């Protein structure tokens, strides 16, 4: 329904003896499911013996009890969930990727997008490398493997690789003897770690995955940091730390991350409440009730209510059985299509001046339908508040964007959008406030709102490369 | 997680030419999915030609696009969703039931439980009838069929059948030429109907299923009423109306129904807000924050906040990917098991005195774990408010109850329960207030709270019958 | 590929303590798979507790290890395989049928077709009976149930039922305490029983199913006989024996039955060898090689070779991975379509005068394509020998026939057929010889060849009934 | 049931405009299914756009109509079937392999085993190459890719690759513009090509796959030959031809290949007939009947009968529904286990002196059970003839062998084996005769019988490598 998509979630566990690392990975990925619904994978490492399983589908569809028990016992595991595009899904692109190289095996799970993967890939192909997928992950695994030929250790190979790869990456990898987590110098994507009562270490994209494993949060991995979990505990390599200003993706707070996660010291729920408070300050309106669009608009709606004093109410019921596979056969009425997912509670809406809070407007069509549903339910006025600035630029760091042609804010003024979606007031969060969601401006990437990017962007060739990617994607397209 | 289960949801549509009745049934059942997750079925009637499909599974698993298009076009359809017991599921018991009899075909979908089905079945068997299932629905279809031999019409046969069957039933049935809906004299289970802009009539267990079909709510079907939809419109038979005091199941408002449904003139959401308000009046506490247990505790929590003035907050994030098939391999920690489904937002809970509102406590184990999670998250005090009275008796009208041995309120005093689940305050809604949830006491069944039943209960033989049922259930048990 | 289809295979086991009756039924049905590929079902009886499973599919698709182990242990079981029509398959029509009636439970599996089921059904419906399927089996179970009301025992009810049902039936049924097998007075369909070393009794459509259970063949059940297996052994009721001349379906020997089965004292393989010998006597030709069409033409081809002295050879290789689900996408060439299934061995055919033996010609199209393949492979002459007389009439006793419009022998003379399928010689087995396949004419039904039927045929209403059946079949049609 | 397994079958088509190459590949692979039942894959090339699908399963399970139509149209396709080991199956090892390299894309399907893959892989890994599978195919694709960096064309890269890879390989590969087939210098595995009436070229492991595509056989690809199919026809590179004596795997004639295939100018069926004739010359016995063990023993049995004059008969009926997934629950009796698959025709066996012909004895257990079944069926004498010499050595060229510990002929004398399997006579085909199966000794590999290998065998490291392979295999093991 017109949302941006995060590319992935990663998970790793270094288990103490007796720990069921496969089950831990399962629960961790289940908690990270919102970061990717296309495919799921787990690799278990039993003293150098790797067992892996990955497939297209949700975590608990892919990992049936038999599959999970088939992964066996081990002392480490890494896992991955991958996002779902609208159309084709590709088993070949599922992660973690497992490779055999001269020094043994490696399993790699990665979240983010490189900005120089095209150049790196071309260079590797000129040396005779072959690629089975179109993913950055395979590029990264090649470079680590090449560096490993001369590096004294796997972590040294990762460290050298970080000199060469540019862009966004939060990755977890596993050699026969070590679990390694690394985050790019800008810190675009989240990555944190914690420890369980039994001594096991868990690393994950978000802290909510630590919670389900019973791991106590230790800290976020710093931008540019490499953390090595091995016999005897963990240590870090900080050669790439502090080299660049931090530029964490602010949309993680606004939409991607789970509200119960804590990132860079700030609760996602609190950041969203704050977004709502800022909205109330920026766009005060005279209204009877504040409602949020489930699920991601609820926190900001509550914040708006707190700041404005307008009562918070539950305005929509979301059908909890709706999944990504829901099909809408023979449905002509677009309003009904909204109602199938989100049905209004008439008694809350009828004859009221309603403030409705959502996290974003992408194409505008969903918003327009929702407003129509509210008006049919009897709303006297509809004031829409968006807990983010207008979304007008491409993202090069691991999210899935429609082309600019599709973005309503690229082609219309605020007034036009308000008219198109038929609201009495339309308020977006300001660029100034979005940087203060966590209380202080610690450095955020706001490229998609501001067009100011913290890294070089993919070079001139990027256009043809983009086109190539499309044709490659077509080539990759599996029938099903 | 220790909830009661509703037995079913029913749906029917009398379509005007060109209406895709199969798709309408699909959407209607999808909206009623919360009333039954075990199996789903649709029968399409194309001028007397019945096409049906039913299977174990959720609505959008059973009705793939191919299956749905295979149902073809027709002028009427009936549909059914059936609840899911913990263990075995049985394709044979899926509804609607389709039977061939002397006057043609009939399809029947039914929600509720008869209190005299054992006697009726015995009588039928003595006449040489054979049964393929253990369901009341087959009993009802037999009686209608027998009455049809001498009755002048199918609706007359239904009317006569209502003289003989006792207990709870909201049913939708279809002869080659008519769609008929009927509700028992006590009106235990909900049933309402509406009309679409194209003139089609829709009948369903709850109004939320009318909404997704674009049908405007007309009214609830009265207790004892029969409504016949046929060429030229609808008419009613009211011979059984007003014969008994209304006794609508109050637990429909508290837990079973969807908050966006309107039943007997009252929004379910409003009834739950009221439950929360009553709770605040009955059990005022000094606290910092009010949170609800998702999803069914949220409305009452908001009502408690409104009445008490204590701020409402979002205390738990529910993993929206959890389904009924979720498995919990290798999970020893029960607290983690709660967190997999419901993870607390620490910043909301920490160092706070928390009021947590839930709709019921069945065995107490889930509540105890949830309280432990809150305390671990730093709650200074936990005050649990339950938006229903203690649940202490059997239900004979179509809900699934654990034996009394399992019900915590049967075996423990209020103080003991508070100690077992480790809360500072435990407040249940009073029996007096529960009858006033909709603003006026229009007559409710509160048998499960009060042990006062509005009908005869299954007779002396009921115990042996109950035991027989268990052994039959065992016999029915399909391997899978 | 244009073959007639048998309607069913039945199986029953009365097990001694410790016998795994579910597995025995599984193996028995697997051996009877050639008699029906549409659906399979097993009911296990554990001292009155019935557990059943049936589904659309082949025996080893339906009965996975989990499903089979879910059937549990028991002291009796009945099983059934059902034939596959080209198009729709219907789970509801799968057998055995399990019914609950006043005296308990009954499971019934049945092979054959009644000639008076329409009349019986009408009578039952007039008494208020309801039907869930369109099968004769449900009619039979109703009559047994009605008779059981007044009969002193289940076997007496079966005995009385045999007074009322007319036509072909070989059935196995199970009450809580007894396993009962019965065969119609004409003995149309086979049914035999045997005993295992552990004392268990096995009853099955063909002796090959006894072999896989380790049961030693005792004897065929006589036409009209009822055999009751119970505590202490077996006994028989012979009230209906000898009332009618035996009329066993001769096509069982020619095509339906497995060559390793022994029926009425004669090996099916030997009967087919004999058909080949008769063909050689009736239609001697000058040729170089005799080949059979796999699989059912091989035995008769060998017989032809033995009698004629012309060398037997292997002329076709059948792709053993071909199943009923094989699809032929984008295939325009009909000759290739034959080759996918049956590819000729060129060295055997080339420059040879070839006698090719098949068991029947139905529409002629398959034969024509096969002959074309032989000619392309270099056959100088093709002499086709058919081990049955021309097939020209309907069968009312449990086989699936195309309408007469489709039967090539109804519309063409022998010479025309020879020209259509392009053979040098076309020889059918004579009606005289077909009755002597087992060495002596013990009484066969040859209705489909001779139009002489051993029973009344379905009465005047049969045509409209047939049409009704089609429309019912359409109604029954499940989407899938 | 104790058979050797071929590793693979390969297929390629260069289609003329309008040809449905995906369907052709489907039919071709279906005809080659006997060469591999584990997995199947097809890659379609539409002017450089590659679409592929591969999965674990039989050809017509993997390629449903939707999947096949999803492959779309194209001008070329390659396909592959892979053999099934007893236990784990691995989707990652399915072929064809598709790789992206500097000069574009390549799809590769391969049958055989290299003897120097370990050395090649080690060398590649020392250069930083990474491997996703443990298959030789990935090694070959790497070397072609590396050579392609400097070679002027893909066929030149293949030609150079053949200088480096040693052992058995019959491969089909596809660049954006060319279809290329190549066979190793010894010609271990079969590979042939033909042309359809529409001008399309088809290349396949066996000629039976040409037949189903309507392709007329042109010729076998010569040992060492490369054939390039491209715009304008085909041409060959013969730089590696004639460098080594031909050493075609004789077991292809005895067991692996389909009897309707013609390889190196000789019909497989004729070679098997000849094996039977030689057996009759080498081991004449006084007997009443000759039978073959279905399916692969039938041809040799017929040959034995022809030479000896002892009548040929059909002794066993093979259950044609048995598949590789057949499970045998709760089966204790091993004789019954044989009967489930192969049931004897008593009338043929009883009181006879029986010659039974099989193609091989591997462990001996299956043979022993079969003999027991024959004796129980009443055979007076059992003379077993094996249409191959005793199997006593490892094969390095692409077949799956049990360790020598398991081979009965490694551990027992002829007399001992005859006693173990309880036969009156045991006759193996002599090593001299096996080389003359096709009429002349054109050069065969008989390494598994004679221990004389036509190439270097895997070097000293081969043992540790073998052990490594096992542990790798374990690592690869997917849970399923």
- What are the tens digits of pLDDT across the range A218-245? 999 999 999 999 999 999 999 999 999 9
Q: How many CA atoms lie within 13 A of A174 on its CB side?
A: 33
Q: What is the mean pLDDT of chain B?
A: 88
Nearest-CA residue of chain B relative to C100?
A: B131
pLDDT tens column, C373-387:
999 999 999 999 999
Strands in C289-292's sheet, in edge-to-edge order, are C289-292, C353-358, C381-386, C425-428
| A125 to D100: CB separation less than 8 angstroms, yes or no | yes
Nearest-CA residue of chain B relative to A211?
A: B339
Is C in contact with A (3 or more beta carbon pairs below 8 Å)?
Answer: no
Is A in contact with D (3 or more beta carbon pairs below 8 Å)?
Answer: yes
| Percent of chain A at pLDDT exceeding 90 | 71
**Chain C interface test: which of B70, B130, B470 (most C C-beta within 10 Å):** B130
Q: What is the pLDDT of residue C267?
A: 96
Residue A265: exposure state from Cβ atoms within 10 A (0-12, 13-18, ≥19)? exposed
Residue B72 has phi, psi (to 5 degrees) of 75, -170
Contacts of C127 in chain B (CB under 8 A): 128, 149
Contacts of D67 in chain A (CB under 8 A): 479-480
| C149 to B141: CB separation less than 8 angstroms, yes or no | no
Question: A476 pLDDT exceeds 80?
Answer: no
pLDDT tens column, D6-29:
579 999 999 999 999 999 999 999
Q: How far apart are CA B390 and CA B410, in angstroms?
A: 8
Question: B196 pLDDT exceeds 80?
Answer: yes
β B289-292/B353-358 pair status? parallel
Question: How far lies C351's CA from each of C377, C379, C382, in Å?
Answer: 9, 5, 11
Question: B468 pLDDT exceeds 90?
Answer: no
Contacts of A331 in chain B (CB under 8 A): 23, 27
Question: A461 pLDDT exceeds 60?
Answer: no
Question: A1 pLDDT exceeds 90?
Answer: no
Question: B461 pLDDT exceeds 60?
Answer: no
Confidence at B249, pLDDT banded by 50, 70, 90: very high
The set of chains that have 3 or more CB pairs under 8 A with A is B, D
Q: What is the pLDDT of residue B94?
A: 82
Contacts of C480 in chain B (CB under 8 A): 66-67, 70
Single out the residue of B180, D50, D374, C29 nearest to residue A132, CA to CA: D50
Measured in angstroms, the CA of D27 and the nearest CA of chain A are apart by 18
**Chain B interface test: which of A329, A344, A377 (most B C-beta within 10 Å):** A329
More confidently predicted of C56 and A428: A428
Q: How far apart are CA B427 and CA C17, in angstroms?
A: 58
A424: helix, coil or strand? coil
| C125 to B131: CB separation less than 8 angstroms, yes or no | no
Measured in angstroms, the CA of B262 and the nearest CA of chain C are apart by 35
Q: What is the pLDDT of residue A325?
A: 52
Q: What is the pLDDT of residue B207?
A: 97
β A381-386/A425-428 pair status? parallel
CB B450 within 8 A of CB B431: yes
Question: C479 pLDDT exceeds 90?
Answer: no
Single out the residue of D191, D189, D146, D187 nearest to residue D164, CA to CA: D146
Average pLDDT over residues B125-145: 90
The token duo for A221 is 């991995």
**Chain D interface test: which of C211, C215, C216 (most D C-beta within 10 Å):** C211
Q: What is the pLDDT of residue B65?
A: 85
The answer for residues whose C-beta is within 8 angstroms of residue D259's C-beta and 6 or more apart is C314, C317, C345, D267, D268, D269, D272, D299
Nearest-CA residue of chain B relative to C63?
A: B479
CA angle C67, C72, C74 (to 5 degrees): 135
Q: How far apart are CA A225 and CA A218, in angstroms?
A: 15
**Chain A interface test: which of D130, D135, D174 (most A C-beta within 10 Å):** D130
Q: Which of A8, A208, A395, A448 is catalytic?
A: A8
Q: How far apart are CA A169 and CA A182, in angstroms?
A: 8
Q: What is the pLDDT of residue C254?
A: 94
Q: What is the mean pLDDT of chain A?
A: 88
Q: What is the ipTM of this complex?
A: 0.91
Q: How far apart are CA B426 and CA A112, in angstroms?
A: 48
Single out the residue of D314, D313, D308 nearest to residue D276, CA to CA: D308
Q: What is the pLDDT of residue C337?
A: 74
β A248-249/A444-445 pair status? parallel
Q: What is the mean pLDDT of chain C?
A: 88
Contacts of C316 in chain D (CB under 8 A): 260
Q: What is the pLDDT of residue C88?
A: 40
Q: Nearest by CB to B66, from C66, C97, C479: name it.
A: C479
Provide the sign of the torsion angle of the four alpha carbons C116, C119, C124, C129, taken in this order.
positive
Q: Nearest by CB to A340, from B27, B69, B270: name it.
A: B27
Question: D140 pLDDT exceeds 80?
Answer: yes
Q: Nearest by CB to B269, from A302, A325, A347: name it.
A: A347
The set of chains that have 3 or more CB pairs under 8 A with D is A, C
CB C203 within 8 A of CB C11: yes
Our answer to whether residue C249 is catalytic in this structure is no
Question: A480 pLDDT exceeds 60?
Answer: no
Contacts of C471 in chain B (CB under 8 A): 49
Residue tagged 């506490």 (tokens): B285
Measured in angstroms, the CA of B461 and the nearest CA of chain C are apart by 16
CB A52 within 8 A of CB A42: yes
Q: What is the mean pLDDT of chain D?
A: 89
Residues of D serving a catalytic function are 8
**Which H/E stretch holds residue C8?**
strand C8-14
Q: What is the pLDDT of residue C478?
A: 27
Q: What is the pLDDT of residue D363?
A: 85
Question: How far lies C155's CA from each of A408, B343, C158, in Å?
Answer: 78, 63, 5
Angle between helical axes of A334-341 and A365-376 (0-180°, round to 10):
80
Contacts of C51 in chain B (CB under 8 A): 475, 477-479
Q: How far apart are CA D182 and CA D167, in angstroms?
A: 13
Q: How far apart are CA C232 and CA B461, in angstroms?
A: 35
Nearest-CA residue of chain D relative to C377?
A: D211
Nearest-CA residue of chain A relative to D125?
A: A102
More confidently predicted of B333 and A190: A190
Q: What is the pLDDT of residue A405?
A: 67
Question: D226 pLDDT exceeds 80?
Answer: yes
Question: A470 pLDDT exceeds 50?
Answer: no
Measured in angstroms, the CA of A250 and the nearest CA of chain D are apart by 36
| A132 to D53: CB separation less than 8 angstroms, yes or no | no
pLDDT tens column, B308-340:
999 999 999 999 887 655 556 665 555 567 788
| B60 to A30: CB separation less than 8 angstroms, yes or no | no
Which segment, A87-91, B143-147, B395-399, is predicted with the most confidence on average?
B143-147
Is the preceding omega at residue D96 within 30 degrees of 0, hence cis?
yes
Q: How far apart are CA D311 and CA C337, in angstroms?
A: 34
pLDDT tens column, C72-106:
999 999 999 998 543 344 666 789 999 988 888 99
CB D137 within 8 A of CB D97: yes
Confidence at A465, pLDDT banded by 50, 70, 90: very low
Single out the residue of D370, D310, D314, D316 nearest to residue D338, CA to CA: D370
Contacts of B302 in chain A (CB under 8 A): 312-314
- State the virtual CA torsion across C25, C31, C34, C40 in degrees, nearest 10: 20
pLDDT tens column, D174-208:
999 999 999 999 999 999 999 999 999 999 999 99
CB C98 within 8 A of CB B132: yes
């Amino acid at each position: 329904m017109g949302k941006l998509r995060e590319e992935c979630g990663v998970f790793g566990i270094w288990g103490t003896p007796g720990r069921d690392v496969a089950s831990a990975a399962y629960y961790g990925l289940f908690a990270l499911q919102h970061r990717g619904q296309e495919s799921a994978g787990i690799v278990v490492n039993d003293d150098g013996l790797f067992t892996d399983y990955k497939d297209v589908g949700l975590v608990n569809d892919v990992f049936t009890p038999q599959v999970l028990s088939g992964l066996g016992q081990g002392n480490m595991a890494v896992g991955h969930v991958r996002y779902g595009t609208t159309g084709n899904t590709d088993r070949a692109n599922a992660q973690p990727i497992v490779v055999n190289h001269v020094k043994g095996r490696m399993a790699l799970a990665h979240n983010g997008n490189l900005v120089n993967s095209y150049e790196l890939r071309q260079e590797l192909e000129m040396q005779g490398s072959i690629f089975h997928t179109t993913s950055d992950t395979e590029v990264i695994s090649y470079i680590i493997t090449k560096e490993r030929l001369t590096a004294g250790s796997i972590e040294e190979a990762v460290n050298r690789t970080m000199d060469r790869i540019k862009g966004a990456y939060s990755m977890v990898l596993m050699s026969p003897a070590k679990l390694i987590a690394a985050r790019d110098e800008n810190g675009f994507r989240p990555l944190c770690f914690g420890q369980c009562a039994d001594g096991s270490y868990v690393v994950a994209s978000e802290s909510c995955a630590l919670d389900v494993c019973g791991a106590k949060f230790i800290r976020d991995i710093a931008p540019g940091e490499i953390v090595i979990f091995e016999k005897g505990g963990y240590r870090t390599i900080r050669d790439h730390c502090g080299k660049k200003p931090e530029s964490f993706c602010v949309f993680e707070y606004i939409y991607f991350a789970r509200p119960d996660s804590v990132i860079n010291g700030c609760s996602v729920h609190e950041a969203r409440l704050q977004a709502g408070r800022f909205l109330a300050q920026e766009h005060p309106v005279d209204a009877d009730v504040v409602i949020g669009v489930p699920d991601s608009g609820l926190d900001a709606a509550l914040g708006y209510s707190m700041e404005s004093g307008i009562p918070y109410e539950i305005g929509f019921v979301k059908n909890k059985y709706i999944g990504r596979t829901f099909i809408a056969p023979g449905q002509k009425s677009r309003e009904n299509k909204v109602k199938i997912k989100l049905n209004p509670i008439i008694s809350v809406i009828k004859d009221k001046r309603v403030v409705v809070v959502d996290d974003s407007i992408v194409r505008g069509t969903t918003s327009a339908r929702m407003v129509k549903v509210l008006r049919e339910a009897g709303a006297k006025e509809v004031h829409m508040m968006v807990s983010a600035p207008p979304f007008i630029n491409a993202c090069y760091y691991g999210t899935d964007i429609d082309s600019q042609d599709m973005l309503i804010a690229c082609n219309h003024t605020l007034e036009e959008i308000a008219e198109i979606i038929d609201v009495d007031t339309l308020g977006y969060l300001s660029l100034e406030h979005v940087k203060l969601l966590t209380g202080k401006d610690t450095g955020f990437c706001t490229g998609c709102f501001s067009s100011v990017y913290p890294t070089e962007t993919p070079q001139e060739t990027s256009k043809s490369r983009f086109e190539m990617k499309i044709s490659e994607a077509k080539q990759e397209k599996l029938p099903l």
